[in-house]
Amino acid sequence: MSLKYKRILLKLSGESLMGDKSFGISQKKLQHYADEINTIMSLGVELAIVIGGGNIFRGLDAKASGIERAQGDYMGMLATCINGLALQSTLEANGMYTRLVSAIEMKEIAEPYIRRRAVRHIEKGRIVIFSAGTGSPYFTTDSAAALRANEIHADVILKGTRVNGIYNVDPEKDVNAIKFDQVSFEKVISMGLKVMDMTAFTMCQENNVPIVVFDITKKGNLYRVVTGKEEGTLVSG
């Protein structure tokens, strides 16, 4: 089977780990992602993952709790490390080799982020899980995904969501929503479509890193995207 993308940055939200729960981590969801990832690793894909922490704590929600924004963002970074540990454990239980890498030093549980070392892990077939975002407050995990994708020279960012692509309006609110199979960076901006936050999106546009938004909750979709089947929405230059 030929690959459309060889080196991939997979972006998973923290909320995607909740499953039917309103908080925390669903083992059923972790196993689903492990199964999906296993199918593409057998093809020789080089994979890195950026994972969010919204299932545990979102820095953007900190203000309502009376917590200063920067402090809240650091709390969110720690939440991504918890999710990274959970995902790492499940992937390794399914026979895959991983490295958990943190933008904040916590050497007892994760390697510090060193770009050349991370790239070497990927070249050796290890799945690198990037946690703690960019290591700085005021940046989302979307920004971390865009930054790491550029640093490791990824062919594409695959943004796994619960919606199968980008629509002109929210498909969960409007049954007449129209899906785009392909769309340019310029059109996304002009139409105000929500793909990533603007910092992350601009970084991808400037460096010509394509983004595929797809429904990762459906079995086999990750495999379909990697092998070039029409799935989700491709954003490119």
In a domain, 1, yes or no: no
Q: Which residues pair with 214 in a beta bridge?
A: 160
CB-based contact 127:91 (threshold 8 Å): yes
* Terminal CA-CA length for the chain: 26
Residue 146's CATH number: 3.40.1160.10
Domain span including residue 101: 7-236
**Is the per-residue pLDDT at 60 higher than 80?**
no
Give me the mean pLDDT over the 54-83 stretch.
85
Domain tally, the chain: 1
In a domain, 148, yes or no: yes
Strand order in the sheet with 156-161: 111-112, 98-102, 127-131, 46-51, 7-12, 156-161, 211-215, 233-236, 182-184
Question: Cα angle vertex 123, ends 17, 119, to 5°?
Answer: 75
What's 195's DSSP letter? S
Q: Which residue bears the tokens 């700085």?
A: 136
**Is the per-residue pLDDT at 64 higher than 80?**
no
Mean residue pLDDT of the chain comes to: 93
**Is the per-residue pLDDT at 195 higher than 90?**
no
The CA-atom distances, in angstroms, between 148 and each of 6, 152, 172, 218 are: 16, 6, 30, 26
Higher pLDDT, 65 or 88: 88
Most trustworthy range by pLDDT among 115-124, 187-196, 228-237: 115-124
What's 190's DSSP letter? H
**Is the per-residue pLDDT at 1 higher than 70?**
no
Q: List, in sequence order, every beta strand (DSSP E) within the chain.
A: 7-12, 46-51, 98-102, 111-112, 127-131, 156-161, 166-167, 179-180, 182-184, 211-215, 233-236
**Is the per-residue pLDDT at 62 higher than 80?**
no
In a domain, 2, yes or no: no
**Is the per-residue pLDDT at 63 higher than 70?**
no
In a domain, 66, yes or no: yes
Q: Which residue bears the tokens 């057998």?
A: 42
In a domain, 165, yes or no: yes
* pLDDT given for residue 201 in this prediction: 93
Cα(226)–Cα(186) distance, integer angstroms:
24
In a domain, 95, yes or no: yes
